[in-house]
Structure 1
Amino acid sequence: MLSDTQRRTLAATLPAVQAALGEITTRFYQGLFTAHPELRDNLFNRTHQETGEQPQALAGSVAAFARLQLEPDIRRQRFILDRIAHKHASLGVTRDQYAVVHEHLFAAIVAVLGDAVTPEVADVWDQLYWDMADLLIATEHGLYENAGVAPGQVWRDVRVIERTQVSPDTIALELVSSGDQPLPEFTPGQYISVQVALADGARQIRQYSLTGAPNAPAWRISVKLAGEVSGHLHAEVFEGDSLRVSTPFGDLVLPDGDAPMVLASAGIGCTPVIGLLEAMSDARDPRPVTVLHADRSRDRQPHRGRLAALVDSLPDARLVQWYENASPHVLSDSVRTGQMSLQDLSVDRSAHVMLCGPGGFLSAMREEFLSHGIDENRLHYETFGPELLRSKS
């Protein structure tokens, strides 16, 4: 924990550090991957490095945690740490890797900020890093313990028993255990990591939401054609093939209670929603549910029929969908054109809202739900790729 004196130093230096975080994190990854190329190839997603999303995500999380030491918000801090910890656990991150990150992150800070990094400043930011790291390590240890695995030992082999084309650019894979042990149960809304061996020897990893029932003997994931891992799965993985996958993790789960639910998704973001709806349908959940989905067109929408069937199976649910391209003859109160909007929709202010999709969609819809009176604490979301913490959750 930072002392009062350290907090004052943090407050004085945060603007300069935050302004340089983009350069710091870029330099950090360059140094890290030079010293440990195996981390670039076998842990971090190369596509997210090339797009700059991963450095932005690291900068955002460090800056957010630093601000929270000056303006404490326990719920916000728990939200940030839980999301990072679940992602780390799905990758098999262990305690010793935090020391490696520390070494190269602080080398980058000194290289970028130079003489501004006095011993006093270095002490404060060093303490801040380890405060954050220790909280993450403890959270990840709890996740591993709850999953019944040793820290980092999250990987298992599964076999593909069915491959289905669910849209022109999306396939669904059904997976069963390759050994005698059954697949572990998961909480609806969670995801698994999939690790694939690429032609250049790298073993790249990406996360995919589970869409089936949590107690089923098989897992189901959906894969949209985008990026190295998904491209490999589309081109190379068929019935009978083996995959290396992680234990399920993820914190986008159904809240307890009987408050109304709003599930809003865009594109392949429908997959966590389908997982949540599968569980609600199995339980005949009586809660009022509003399902909102946006896509480019009806013919390119993955799981369009399944989404509608799940909504129809619930006692008090409705579905409204938006398409960028839609024929006039299909338009109605429940099928609209353009971008998703809450205009003309009644949203219960007591509802829990689950948002799933790309970053731009999440940011826009978050603001819209807030403007309609939904409390920030009732907004939950899942995104794909690195966590870009530019605004509050």
Structure 2
Amino acid sequence: MLSEKSRPVIEATLPVIAERINDITPDFYQRMFTARPDLMDGMFSRSSQLEGTQPKALAGSIAVFASYILAHPGRYPDEVLSRVAHKHAALGLREEEYPTVYKYLFEAIAANLGDILTPEIAEAWTEVYWLMADALIKLEKGLYAVQANNAMFAPFAIVRREETGENVVVLTLEPANAIAMTDAVAGQYVSIITKAKDGLRQPRQFTLLPSEKNQRRVAIKLDIKGEMTQILHEKKVGDLLELSNPYGDVTLGAFGDSEDQPLYLFSAGIGVTPMIAFLSELAATGSKREVIVVHADRSLTTWPLRDEMTEYVNLIENAQLVSFVEADGEGNFEGRVDISKLGVPAHASAYLCGPLPFMQGVRSQLIEAGVPGTNIQYEIFGPDQWMLHDQARG
């Protein structure tokens, strides 16, 4: 809980910090990576730094946290903290690095604010930082504690390589040593680390697809502008990759939805992956729930894992598959997803995965159809800036 001493200081300075934080965080990262270049090796994504998505995500999370604890004394923004904690755990962030972040972040704040930063203001924002950091540390310790092993990353060998859709490769991996494997919950993901062309180890997150016991299976969409997906696409059977334990809080029922609610799974492109994991779980448990799977793609040939998705839908008693396809005459409907054609009831529970504009558009339509924002969940891989806005959380 924010102290009464710090509360009026944070209230007075939050507008200034919020306005300047997007300028502060790039300076913070530059300072930190200059002093600690090892943190870029295996933990931070170089492309996210270059794009600015990681700095903006950090900046936004601090501002959102401060704003939330001002408006809700005695409470924390649990959904935001959970999302951040799972991302941190998947990257192997350790408690001892929080003082590192504090040191270089507050150096950047001091440099930006100059004489504005009085000792009183510095003390108040230090309190905010450590309230947020301590909450994340506690969550991350809990996430690490339930794993079947204490390794942040372990070597896995590729045992199968398949292609599906357009520029999507499916890799099946098995542990290269005797490490105990944590059972993944449908919808969770792993970080995969491999070396960039200059030798720097770089992490990326991928949803876990249904697989056999003691296997991990992921689908990787080629990003022609990206740094790492091309390298991963070139991997062959027998090659080794470093995998984290499974993390992620976007799982069925995690947000209070129940079997009594119709379940709508909206995906576009490679966003099929968590939906296939959900469908596998529903099929395995013999669910009687009403499930409407809605997928959008350019054509049937570009639709990744279409046959697998269809097979799982057919295994669920009350499930149906609806497609919106841009190519003429190939799907149930032509063009983009149109919620008005689906008759979505207001008490429905919805999960979204796909490009951000797709998820924003579908979510807006669902809200207009009367579905509460709290009934709509989504997954983004990489730094999640959308979570920091009210339209993604409320």
Separation (CA, whole Å) in 2 of partners of 1:198 and 1:380: 33
1:315-326 equivalences in 2 (<5 Å): 315-323=317-325, 325-326=326-327
> What letter corresponds to residue 210 of structure 2 in structure 1?
G
Separation (CA, whole Å) in 2 of partners of 1:301 and 1:52: 30
Residue matched to 1:67: 67
1:155-170 equivalences in 2 (<5 Å): 155-170=153-168
Residue matched to 2:229: 230
> What letter corresponds to residue 356 of structure 2 in structure 1?
G
Residue matched to 2:56: 56
Structure 1 residues 245 and 74: CA distance shift in structure 2, 3 A? farther
Residue matched to 1:383: 380
Q: CA deviation at 1:309?
A: 1.8
Is contact 1:158–1:243 with CA below 8 Å preserved after alignment? yes
- Tell which deviates more after alignment, 197-206 or 354-363: 354-363
Structure 1 residues 149 and 129: CA distance shift in structure 2, 3 A? farther
Residue matched to 1:302: 304
Is contact 1:7–1:69 with CA below 8 Å preserved after alignment? no
Q: CA deviation at 1:267?
A: 1.6
Separation (CA, whole Å) in 2 of partners of 1:54 and 1:22: 11
Q: CA deviation at 1:372?
A: 1.7
1:7-156 equivalences in 2 (<5 Å): 7-72=7-72, 77-150=77-150, 153-156=151-154
Gaps of 5+ in 1: none
Alpha-carbon deviations, 1:194-219, whole Å to 9, x = none? 01022312000001100115x62322
Q: CA deviation at 1:73?
A: 8.5
- Tell which deviates more after alignment, 4-13 or 90-99: 4-13
Is contact 1:322–1:337 with CA below 8 Å preserved after alignment? yes
Separation (CA, whole Å) in 1 of partners of 2:214 and 2:48: 33
Separation (CA, whole Å) in 1 of partners of 2:94 and 2:376: 30
Residue matched to 1:337: 334
Separation (CA, whole Å) in 1 of partners of 2:188 and 2:379: 10
Alpha-carbon deviations, 1:36-56, whole Å to 9, x = none? 112123311111111111111
Separation (CA, whole Å) in 2 of partners of 1:339 and 1:27: 40
> What letter corresponds to residue 363 of structure 2 in structure 1?
R
Structure 1 residues 73 and 344: CA distance shift in structure 2, 3 A? farther
Separation (CA, whole Å) in 2 of partners of 1:125 and 1:296: 48
Is contact 2:69–2:75 with CA below 8 Å preserved after alignment? no
SS in 1 for 2:340: coil
Q: CA deviation at 1:365?
A: 2.2
Alpha-carbon deviations, 1:104-135, whole Å to 9, x = none? 11111111111111111111111000000000
Structure 1 residues 148 and 51: CA distance shift in structure 2, 3 A? same
Separation (CA, whole Å) in 2 of partners of 1:243 and 1:330: 37
1:340-359 equivalences in 2 (<5 Å): 340-359=337-356
User: Do residues 270 (structure 1) and 272 (structure 2) align?
Assistant: yes
Q: CA-atom RMSD, angstroms?
A: 1.8
User: Do residues 246 (structure 1) and 244 (structure 2) align?
Assistant: yes
Residue matched to 1:211: 209
The normalised TM-score by structure 1 is 0.93
Is contact 1:266–1:356 with CA below 8 Å preserved after alignment? yes
State percent identity of aligned pairs.
Answer: 37
> What letter corresponds to residue 265 of structure 2 in structure 1?
L
Separation (CA, whole Å) in 1 of partners of 2:307 and 2:377: 25
SS in 1 for 2:265: strand
Separation (CA, whole Å) in 2 of partners of 1:220 and 1:74: 41
Alpha-carbon deviations, 1:302-348, whole Å to 9, x = none? 1112112211221111222223x312x334xxx22222221222112
Separation (CA, whole Å) in 2 of partners of 1:349 and 1:74: 31
Separation (CA, whole Å) in 2 of partners of 1:6 and 1:292: 48
Is contact 1:41–1:204 with CA below 8 Å preserved after alignment? yes
Is contact 1:81–1:136 with CA below 8 Å preserved after alignment? yes
- Tell which deviates more after alignment, 177-186 or 21-30: 177-186
Separation (CA, whole Å) in 1 of partners of 2:74 and 2:166: 44
SS in 1 for 2:93: coil
Separation (CA, whole Å) in 1 of partners of 2:314 and 2:178: 37
Structure 1 residues 130 and 41: CA distance shift in structure 2, 3 A? same
> What letter corresponds to residue 54 of structure 1 in structure 2?
Q
Structure 1 residues 84 and 46: CA distance shift in structure 2, 3 A? same
Separation (CA, whole Å) in 2 of partners of 1:186 and 1:92: 17
User: Do residues 192 (structure 1) and 190 (structure 2) align?
Assistant: yes
- Tell which deviates more after alignment, 257-266 or 44-53: 257-266
Separation (CA, whole Å) in 1 of partners of 2:39 and 2:179: 30
Q: CA deviation at 1:182?
A: 5.2
Structure 1 residues 266 and 74: CA distance shift in structure 2, 3 A? farther
Alpha-carbon deviations, 1:64-123, whole Å to 9, x = none? 111101112888711001111111111110111111110111111111111111111111
The normalised TM-score by structure 2 is 0.93
Gaps of 5+ in 2: none
Is contact 1:194–1:205 with CA below 8 Å preserved after alignment? yes
Kindly tell me the number of residue pairs found equivalent between the two proteins.
384
Alpha-carbon deviations, 1:150-184, whole Å to 9, x = none? 4xx32111111100001231000011121234533
Is contact 2:102–2:129 with CA below 8 Å preserved after alignment? yes
Structure 1 residues 177 and 42: CA distance shift in structure 2, 3 A? closer
